[in-house]
Amino acid sequence: MPKITVDGTEYDTENLSTNGKAQLASLQFLEVQMQKLKNEIAVYQTARAGYAAALQNELAKIEAK
């Protein structure tokens, strides 16, 4: 019997109505999608830092002239 905890209270998912099970499935789907987006943002932030470092390197070359 899978259980979920909501606001500190544990519930047996088998006791959920069809609508309740659908809402739970939607929440679980959204959690997965949100984690994917967080991972994607981490990749973008890493790339941004790399591009910024490369630009700073290029700007330093200009200043050295």
Q: What is the DSSP string of the chain?
A: --EEEETTEEEEGGGS-HHHHHHHHHHHHHHHHHHHHHHHHHHHHHHHHHHHHHHHHHHHHHHH-
Q: What is the pLDDT of residues 1-58, one digit of tens each?
A: 699 999 999 999 999 999 999 999 999 999 999 999 999 999 999 999 999 999 999 9
Domain boundaries, the chain: 3-64
Please state whether the predicted TM-score (pTM) of the whole model is above 0.85. no
